[in-house]
Structure 1
Amino acid sequence: MFHGIVPPYLLEQLERTAADPNVRARIRQSLRHDAVLRTRPAAGREPAAAAGGRKRAVYDAENGTDLPGTLARSEGDEPVRDEVVNQAYDGTGATWDMYQQCFGRDSIDGAGLVLSSTVHFDRGYANAFWDGARMVFGDGDGEIFGHFTAAIDVTGHELTHGVTQYTANLVYEGQSGALNESLSDVFGSLAKQHALGQSAAEADWLIGAGLFLPGVQGVALRSMKEPGTAYDDPRLGKDPQPADMSGYVDTDDDNGGVHINSGIPNRAFYLVATELGGNAYDDAGRIWYTTLTSGNLPQSADFKTFATATQTAARTLFGEDAPQLAAVTNAWQTVGVLDSDSELLTAAQSGLQPSAPPSQPPPEREGSAG
């Protein structure tokens, strides 16, 4: 189970356009690693903490590829000299804090799973990924990307792939795969906002801000506020994400456009959060979290199924006449997923009622890893 923060199409573009042959070689090696990792079965899970609670373990691959590597820092240890180790420790901690303090969730599986991460994976590796059991961070190629531990939202994004794995287990292809990616962006952004004490109005709504090195014409990998505007660089190309269904990309690449089309549900969440105001991890976050962990969301859910499920969650949490429900409906209509007030009736008839999430991940389905 491989979920990388950098889309394959962006790395492929860099391999074609980077002027420096050393950079091209590092990008090519990153693509090869990603291709191999996609074919591997999910890694074995880390043990749950005996008494639950926040438990972190950061390993150092020492520029090799054997996982997990050498233990570099454990829960409660003082900071070490390697700032990358400390960033991984802090980022996984910030993500755990957000899930526990905002949603009462004990780690990504809800049962005290140790948050394991590995830094310094390979040399010049231009990605970070979730492999089914741990976070793995590259140091970047040195010209386009810096250290991937530098962005809390990247860590939150990848760990949320684990939350999805243990709850809805959305198939990683087409619209369900784009929802999988979007949910990781949503809760990755919420982890950053929670750590920084930012309201929805104060947040930048960028995913991966700070990853690009000086000279790159871009601010982040993705913008939830304005999909399609995160970068426009001669080497990277232009951010291809659509902001609504009129620009939906029908493609066989990238598991059916999972990274490209995730901009549509991303913007829907941004619209809900900013319409409601306050902290995005409060009402808007509760609606999305309830939808994800209901135990009733189909693994192959498309955008419309998910949209109506968020309406059901909003109605259940806040009531039929609540502004939260109106904000959810308005957002999905704005991005073109719901097209009329009749969709509200569909939500009521869907039967998607929140319930307790499963304590163990559902079995893997073909096509769910990528």
Structure 2
Amino acid sequence: MRTRRAMVGRLYRELNLTAGQVMGFGVTTERRRQTVYDNQNNGRVFLPGVRSRGWGDPPVQDAAVNQAYDGSAATYDFYSDVLGRDSVDGAGMELVSTVHYGVGFDNALWDGAQMIYGDGSGHIFQVGALTRSLDVIAHELTHGVTEFTAGLIYSKQSGALNESMSDVFGSLVKQYSLNQTADQADWLIGEGTLVPQLGRALRSMSQPGTAFSGDRQPMHMDHYVNLPDDNDPRNDNGGVHVNSGIPNHAFYLAATTLGGHAWEVAGKVWYTALTKLIRPHTQFREAAQATVDVAGSQFGNDEQAAVLDAWKAVGVLQ
């Protein structure tokens, strides 16, 4: 599915095609920004599934449908109201979601054209938890934003940046919905989605490596995990979910140093870097310098110093 996402994203960027041209759907009308479908546990052959709720429709009896609808709406509103972006493609792309995907499917993901939510098996993810988690929804939809902008290659450092950008904006959407300051936020991604015996969350941006049992995310380049990108799932595409802890922690440090609402300065800096300066093969150091440059040009010396110090603290810049 991630391979498909990468291929679709490349078509968008290199051929300058719209979502509708590539996938045959996805262009919004004036009245409709999102639609939720029910896969009825049938898997990929039945995507997107049976239409369950469209834009402006009232809630239905299925909690997963309503949660996917509300999470997509909250993410759309954040990007629109805070960053001036019209949907994931910046051009009003309809947000299509499918719930009840497969049987006990332990994942939620953006597949290049739409959101897919499994129900969870109860062994890794709690049943129903993936549609309840706003930051997970926003994380996955941000993969769509990255797909249409920087196109970060899903491997090693560029892939870790891809994952980190999704964590950054996943957390910001949650903070925005709760009107939390950087100091008030928990900086956890997917809190309460895992079964309790595994841990409290998928990742911690404030303390990488502490979210769940077996979490080996580093927070400093001294502990960067050098894994091969060899199609072995144990190696995580060269450690994209592992090493994302380093840029995640840099954002956390910058946001908490700047204070206030994290989306107002740090979030805008990271968004401008993602959409204007970062490219498919960008590495940690290049991305860090991009955010430092944006902080100085878009805000000022104090903001630039906070961003620079954050990247120094995690060992990416000196």
CA distance, structure 1, for counterparts of residue 152 and residue 60 of structure 2: 37
CA distance, structure 2, for counterparts of residue 57 and residue 198 of structure 1: 29
Matched residue SS, 2:101 = coil
CA distance, structure 2, for counterparts of residue 265 and residue 326 of structure 1: 16
Q: CA shift at 1:38, angstroms?
A: 7.9
Q: TM-score, normalised by structure 1?
A: 0.77
Q: CA shift at 1:323, angstroms?
A: 1.3
Corresponding position of 1:60: 38
Aligned residues of 2:149 and 2:275 also touching (Cα < 8 A)? yes
CA distance, structure 2, for counterparts of residue 308 and residue 244 of structure 1: 17
Of the three residues 207, 210, 223, the one matched with 2:189 is: 207
Q: Which amino acid aligns with 2:108?
A: A
Corresponding position of 2:2: 2
Corresponding position of 2:256: 274
CA distance, structure 1, for counterparts of residue 8 and residue 299 of structure 2: 41
Q: CA shift at 1:54, angstroms?
A: 6.6
Gapped runs of 5+ residues in structure 1? Answer: 4-36, 233-237, 340-370
- Count residues with an aligned counterpart: 296
When residues 45 and 2 of structure 1 are mapped into structure 2, their CA distance, relative to the original with a 3 A threshold, is farther
Corresponding position of 1:229: 210
Of the three residues 281, 306, 309, the one matched with 1:327 is: 306
Corresponding position of 1:248: 224
Matched residue SS, 1:298 = coil
1:1-370 to structure 2, matched below 5 A, reads 2=2, 44=23, 46-51=25-30, 55-65=33-43, 66-146=46-126, 147=128, 148-214=130-196, 216-232=197-213, 238-252=214-228, 253-294=235-276, 296-319=277-300, 322-339=301-318
Matched residue SS, 1:120 = strand
Aligned residues of 1:91 and 1:152 also touching (Cα < 8 A)? yes
CA distance, structure 2, for counterparts of residue 89 and residue 291 of structure 1: 29
Q: What per-residue deviation string (whole Å, max 9, x for no partner) do you get for residues 106-162 of structure 1?
A: 101111000111000011111111110001000001233122101000000000000
RMSD, matched Cα: 1.7
CA distance, structure 2, for counterparts of residue 97 and residue 41 of structure 1: 24
Percent identity reads 53
Q: What per-residue deviation string (whole Å, max 9, x for no partner) do you get for residues 3-34 of structure 1?
A: 8xxxxxxxxxxxxxxxxxxxxxxxxxxxxxxx
Aligned residues of 1:68 and 1:118 also touching (Cα < 8 A)? yes
Q: TM-score, normalised by structure 2?
A: 0.89
Runs of 4+ in 1 over 3 A off after TM superposition: 37-43
- The one of the two structures with greater contact order (alpha-carbon pairs below 8 A, sep at least 6) is 1
Gapped runs of 5+ residues in structure 2? Answer: 10-21, 229-234
When residues 45 and 303 of structure 1 are mapped into structure 2, their CA distance, relative to the original with a 3 A threshold, is farther
